[in-house]
Copies of this chain bind each other. A is one copy, B any other.
């Protein structure tokens, strides 16, 4: 092993491993764990299947390694948000929500992974919460609770905010195939993206109705 110090050109091994992780992340996020095959990843990464097992023992470990590629995304979100540490909770929350949505768009893999595994449940979801999503979720819940205490947010279980937010992101990111199939609309355009971000945020924050009347109860 090379003993030269921290800044080194990546060795051959680490370069192919990185390529594999990249391909794997893409496929896992678009197809979900089960529909991805080692063969498919190997082909897309232009290596043999055995190489996958050399660098990452098995499919599960490859999945985890691929997920960790997303750590940087979460960290960046954290960094941007910490700049507003001293703002009132409601302002931080708004910023956090917008950041959440923006990041969901810029890195669709993250949102898709959470939605896919969030529906399936199981060990992989637990792993995600423990290694990737935990701090982010706790921070959002915490902000929501503080904003609620300050009277700036309607009272509801603050954990719901995160799920609702995730679901809102899912609506336009993860359900893109649904939009295409059902309505022939392609949300993967820059114009579409901006419009949809505003729509979701507007919906969550201000609602969609032009007037302010109450929701009818007659159908309960």
Binding site for B on A (CB under 8 A): 31-32, 34-35, 80, 90-91, 94-95, 98-99, 102, 112, 114-122, 125-126, 129, 133-134, 137, 141, 151-154, 156-157, 159-164, 166-168, 170-172, 174-183, 185, 195-196, 199-212, 215-216, 218-220
Contact = CB atoms under 8 A, between A and B. Distances in A.
A78 to B, nearest CB: 14
Contacts of A115: 115, 119, 170, 175
A60 to B, nearest CB: 15
11 contacts: A32-B32, A32-B120, A118-B177, A119-B178, A121-B180, A160-B172, A162-B183, A164-B171, A167-B175, A203-B203, A204-B207
Contacts of A112: 119
Number of copies: 2
A116 B176 CA distance: 12
A18 to B, nearest CB: 27
Contacts of A171: 160, 163-164, 166-168, 170
B114 A178 contact: yes
Contacts of A129: 181-182
Contacts of A162: 182-183
Question: In terms of DSSP, what is the predominant structure of the interface of chain A?
Answer: helix
B199 A160 contact: yes
Given A94-B216, A168-B167, A219-B98, A154 B210 contact: yes
B182 A137 contact: yes
Contact of A164 (B174, B199, B210, B212): B199
Nearest to A99: B219
B208 A161 contact: yes
A207 to B, nearest CB: 4
B183 A159 contact: yes
Nearest to A197: B220
